Each structure stands twice: as structure tokens, then as C-alpha cells.
Amino acid sequence: MTKIVSAAVAAARIPDNCVVTVSSSSSLGCPDLVLKAIGERFVSEGHPRNLTTLHPIAAGDMYGVKGIDHIAKDGLLSRVLAGSYPSGPSSLPMPEIWRMIVENRVAAYNVPSGVMFDMHREAAARRPGVLTSVGMDTFADPIRQGCAMNDKGAEAPIVSRVEFGGQTWLHFPNIYPDVCILRATTADEWGNLTYEHEGAYLGGLEQAIATRNNRGLVIAQVKRVTASGSLRPHDVRVPGHLVDLVVIDPDQMQTCETPYDPAISGQVMRPWNSFRLAEHGVEKVIARRAAMELKGGMTANLGFGISAQVPRILLEEGHPRAVTWVIEQGAVGGMPLTDFAFGCAANADAYMPSPQQFIYFQGSGFDMSFLSFMEVDVEGNVNVSKLGKKPYLTAGCGGFVDITSNARKIVFSGWFEAGAQVALTDKGISIERPGKFTKMVERVEHVTFSGRRAREIGQDVLYVTERCVMRLTDQGLLATEIMPGIDPQVSIVDASQGRVRLAPDAVTMPLSLLGTGKMGWQP
């Protein structure tokens, strides 16, 4: 009996009232054709109804791959747990899933991505749920929001605090998936899956095992089919005994706005001089100062935003391989990509499955992490996961909480003020016009990173901005380095309304950070 079916036939096998887990990372690995078929079936038949969906990383984007928006319909979707959600600029329409969340039409939760992979592993093995310190004292903790994104979510908690072994932990009870939808490149007629054109393995194997162990249905979307037995066993990432149905989509995108780039899947190596360098400007200056924390031979994690430019700084300095970069989608080494290809890397040394990458992150195996911030408060708390006025401008927490919960050192990068007019001059940075508001706030809207817990466990935390470098101390934010040209009292202390203090021994950063030539970084 063939496993190859149409997307419509696969969608017809999904029952009402079930839990569906989807492997994806925005448009990277997104099984969009199957999700589209589910939405179309609901419109025509009114089924499946009342689904709970699990998305360790976002399904779809705002630039042509709808993903979760295919199923964001009243009656079809009743509950959603996701590490991240489609996000983009305010100039684009709000995704329908975000509209459902803010209008309280679906019970919605933002769960750290690594914890979501842990939940699949624990459910698969019939262990008693996830017991973790990841997310303590953040929005994931029930002392705050407990991952709930709206009132419907808060009405049905998914996490609690428990005491075990003399310590306090967060406990996420098991959620057992009935259906798994994943994506690969090639399937043979037996359903064995290989990923040779994919930019990441993500967590499809763990999600398929959790579903199979719950006697559920596993649907794989692929680009092509080959004869049974023709795949190299070492290349098979999801074996056929875990796969029930195979749907072919020859037009599936490799990632956002990229039909296929062999460098993303590691099939070719790009010349190092083919990568675009960071554009000269204030954000490059911030990235340069962040890069000064690095030493040759380190392994560093990388996030979105200004921090994503740090590898380009080392590239410009002539040392593209001095540091091993690790990103949550699974790439190890090489050059992490930016913009629409964020989450992928070219010239990678290896591709780890995301669940194993998150084990490495949660246990703080790397030397430091470079991340960005939207706002920072007087306790050193960071918000990257919620913007109440325009929620879809942020994707949620993604792997941010898993990465930062136990990291030894974290370098946050961002703007001190929003909307300030800043110029680079021969003498340093000049604030031509103050911003609309400071990002150094009294209390962040959402605690994605806990400054209080960071102090308790002894994390080394820096905040790099266009005006200064701040360190997290027991007394709050302390500016220890000042950008050339900046008046510390006016542009830091007064601009933050006194929330940032100036260190008595604060030093001025080198002018070489601002120049158009190399700054002189050495491994």
C-alpha cells in the first residue's frame, strides 16, 4: 500500500479534537501545503474542529508562506502552544493568528522553544512531564504569566511551580500529540526521509516519535519521491516506520523568499568574500563593541537583530572562522545568515537537530550569547517577547529563554532610545535629536530575561548601546564604558531618567569602533 497521497487526502485523515504538532521554523522546513489543505478542508466541510497545535518554532512567515495562518480559523483552532509566531513590520497586515490571540478567540501560549522540544521527548517516553529551571522568574513562570498570551490561555494553565529534591522547578505536564506534520526533502516509497536540501533538521524526528508512541498519525511533506531502498541509511533522518503518509510539493521553499540555495543546506561552500559585510553605521558600531568580548576558539550563540551582525564584524577583520557560531535551528559553525535567511547558516561545519542543540543551550555549554533587546528595566530585566501595542512586531520568545536561563555570559545589544537621530562624526557619536522614549524603562512589559535571577546565579551580563556599555550589578544598570562624543550626564543618566548610573571609573571606548576601516580585532 502506497504512502504517497495528496495534501487533501492527508488533511482528511485528521480527526476533530486532536493535538497536532508541526515541525517548522518560520518558512524554513514549513509543511505549508499540508497546512493549507487543512484550512481548505475546514472551509468546505467544517472539519477538523477544535484542534490544539504545537509549534516549537514558528510555522510560516509574513512574506508569502502562510503556515499557521492557513488554520487560524474560529472553530478549527481552539488552542495553540508555540515557541514563536510569524512576525514582521507594522507596514504589513497583522497575521490572522495574532488577530485571534489579541481578540481572545483562541487559548494561546508562548512556550520557550527548547522546553517545547523537551515536552515532546517526555511525552514520547511516558515520563511525568518536563521539570526544568528554564524560564524561572520570566513570563514563563506562573508567578508571572505562566506562558499565557491572553485571558483564554490564563484560564487553563499549562505550567506550575513544584518542589523536588529540595529545589523549586517549573513543571510542564505532558501533552500527547495525535498528529505530526513535518517536512523533508526526499522520501522513498517506504517513507524514509532525507533532508539534503533543507537548511536544518529542526525537531521532526522527536515530534514523529512522540506521535507514533501515542498511536498517532505522521504526515511528511517532501519535495520529491525516490524508489524504495535507494536512500543511504546514514542519510535517513526520519525512518519510514514512523511515517504514515507522504505528500509531495515540488515547489516548497527552502526558506523565506529562497527557493533553493545549496550553501544553506551545506552542499556547496561559499567563498568568504561573497558575504555582505555589515553596513557602516551606528548598528555596526554597536556590533563591533559586542564583538570585542570574543576571543579566538570560543563558541557563541547568536540571536536576531543587531547581534546578528557580529559574525560579519569578524569576517571584515579577516577572521571568519575564529569563533564557532551555534544557532537554535541547528547549524554549527560557518556564517549565520541575516534578513530573510535568518536561522540558516552557510559554510556550516555541522547541522544538529534542534532538540539536541537546545540541550546544549540549556546546559550552558557555549561561552557566551549575543542577543538583542527591545527594552531593559532597572532590575536588568529584558523584554524581547511582547509589544502590547503592536504584538506581531515580535515573534515571541523563541529560544531566547532556553539560551539565557543558564548562560555564563550574555551580551545584549540595542538602542538606548527609540527614534533618536544619531550621527557618526570624526570625534564620536553625536545625538542630533533625542528619541521619542528611552528603552531603559522602570519596568519591562514582559520579562523574557530575569535580571534578578541572573544576579542570583552569577551570570555576567552586558548591555551594549550606541551611547554606552552597561553592566548588571546588584544596584542595577551601571554604565562602565562611554561612546566617544557622548555626554554621560545628559545622554545617559538624564535620558534614562536616572535609571542608569554612571560608574566613577567609566572609560571612553576607542575611536576605532567608529572608523570605516578595520577596528583591529585579533583572535
Residues with a known catalytic role:
328
- Dihedral angle sign, alpha carbons of residues 21, 23, 26, 30: negative
- Dihedral angle sign, alpha carbons of residues 20, 23, 27, 33: negative
Measured from the Cβ of residue 227, the count of other Cβ atoms closer than 10 Å reads 9
List CB contacts of 278: < 8 A, sequence separation 6 or more: 284, 287, 309, 312, 313, 316
Contact present, 394 and 87 (Cβ < 8 Å): yes
Instruction: Give the start-end residues of each E strand in 100-223.
Output: 107-110, 130-132, 160-164, 167-172, 179-183, 186-188, 193-194, 217-222
Reported residue count of the chain is 523
Residue among 52, 62, 51 nearest 94 (CA): 62
Alpha helix segments (H runs only) across 440-480: 451-457
* DSSP strand pairing (51-55 vs 417-418): unpaired
What SS3 state is found at 211? helix
Distances (CA, A) of 94 to 22, 131, 389: 22, 35, 12
User: How far apart are alpha carbons 362 and 3 in whole angstroms?
Assistant: 37
What SS3 state is found at 282? helix
Cell 562602565 -> residue: 480
- What is the distance, to the nearest Å, from the Cα of residue 113 to the centroid of all Cα atoms in its chain? 7
Residue among 94, 247, 137 nearest 183 (CA): 247
User: How far apart are alpha carbons 3 and 19 in whole angstroms?
Assistant: 22
What SS3 state is found at 79? strand
